[in-house]
Homo-oligomer: A and B are copies of this chain.
Amino acid sequence: MLNFDLYMPARIVFGRDTQHKIGELIKPHAKKVLLHYGGGSIKRTGLYDQVVKSLKDNDVSFVELGGVVPNPRLSLVHEGIALCKQEGVELILAVGGGSTIDSAKAIAMGVYYDGDVWDIYDQGLDIKKALPVAIVLTIPAAGSESSGDTVISNEETGRKYGYGHPLLRPLISVMNPELFFTLPKNQIANGVADMMSHIFERYFTNTANVDLTDALCEATLRAIIANAPRLMENPKDYDAWAEIGFAGTVAHNGLLGMGRAQDWACHGMEHELSAAYDVAHGAGLAVLTPAWMKYVWQDNPDMFAQFAVNVMGVAKGLRNKEALVREGIARLVSFYRVMGLPQTLSELGIDESRHEEMARKCTGDYFGQEEKIGGLKKLGWQDVLKIYQIAK
């Protein structure tokens, strides 16, 4: 086990009707908030009215800024920062999914930064202060409700950068699984693939003596695999949503990766797909993850055999190790298929024409500074190219 530093301050208020508590929960922390959200869906579902009522009932005043889009934009962040400064906002309340939360975190730190908040992303600056962020979650997937991470796109330069800091971990996240009932099935499946990948990136490691976190990762993956298909049959299954919603938070609050060298190659490779072809993050991960497994498993066959047995339920020792590993991967592919997720890059509309460009971009080689990605196996651009080809 490696040394680690675990910090999970976000208070998770979970369950039926919890969105009505948001005003009461915020009241001790702020008199005035920025109510931040995306398109009109929260107005259509009535959630907007419920949140506003809860704020008013608790004498929390607010200004609002809607319009967050997937791959949230810097221009809206700038607008939010100006509004917060002008109005003396003390807390950002994000009502939405990962994009809205990421935008809220950008505003939260931008309020205390004298220059352009983009500098923080671009130069990886160390922030000293941020407004607190509270959340009413409407899409469980990104894990942004418990993490200190944010990803913002700069429309002017076309760059999309991530940034993480402990000060950006949310103060309070309210999660009512009933709010997920209206999600379309492809979004459910993408979310599930994303949260599973958050665990895979932590789970697949060469670090020895990590029994506890091995077992916690496997436990969370099994709970997701057992419950997610129920949502494809009935997207209003409260019990299944409760498992999936909670699992999405556990997957990304930091706990499962403690003491382990982490990987994150699949996230890096998928980032290029999304950037070049605007595919959904979860769908890209579902295609790339099995291809990555097929390419790297021989670097740590025991780890992948353990995955096959403890996560995918392959009978231990039935056959040789390679057969065990391949059966584990096959079952994962099969699970993705049950979820209606794509199996190949071509299903995502991605041909081979830009494979090399993406491989060279994601390892930095395109920009003349190759830095291998991954943890379990270090991957150069030629490795990534091979993985794209396996996935084609």
Which listed residue, B17, B219, B250, B259, touches A14 by the CB 8 Å rule?
Answer: B259
Shortest distance between the CB of A218 and any CB in chain B (Å) = 7
Q: Chain B residue with minimal CB distance to A218?
A: B219
Assuming the contacts A15-B2, A259-B242, asked whether A212 and B216 have C-beta atoms less than 8 A apart, the reply is no
The reply to whether B223 and A219 form a contact with Cβ atoms under 8 Å apart is no
The reply to whether B211 and A215 form a contact with Cβ atoms under 8 Å apart is no
Residue A7, interface by CB 8 Å: yes
The reply to whether A9 and B12 form a contact with Cβ atoms under 8 Å apart is no
The reply to whether A243 and B3 form a contact with Cβ atoms under 8 Å apart is no
Q: Chain B residue with minimal CB distance to A17?
A: B3
The reply to whether B15 and A4 form a contact with Cβ atoms under 8 Å apart is yes
Residue A127, interface by CB 8 Å: no
Residue A113, interface by CB 8 Å: no
Give me the 10 closest cross-chain CB pairs, A-B, nearest first: A3-B15, A215-B219, A209-B239, A212-B223, A6-B12, A219-B219, A1-B242, A9-B9, A7-B11, A211-B223
Given contacts A212-B219, A216-B219, A255-B255, 14 further A-B contacts (CB under 8 A): A1-B239, A5-B13, A6-B11, A6-B14, A14-B258, A209-B239, A211-B226, A211-B227, A212-B243, A215-B223, A216-B216, A216-B250, A218-B219, A246-B258
A residues at B contact (CB < 8 Å): 1-9, 11-18, 208-209, 211-213, 215-216, 218-220, 222-223, 226-227, 239, 242-243, 246-247, 250, 255, 258-259
A-B pairs with beta carbons under 8 Å apart, 20 shown: A1-B243, A2-B15, A3-B16, A4-B12, A5-B11, A5-B12, A5-B14, A7-B11, A7-B12, A8-B9, A14-B258, A212-B223, A212-B250, A213-B246, A215-B220, A215-B223, A246-B258, A246-B259, A250-B255, A255-B255
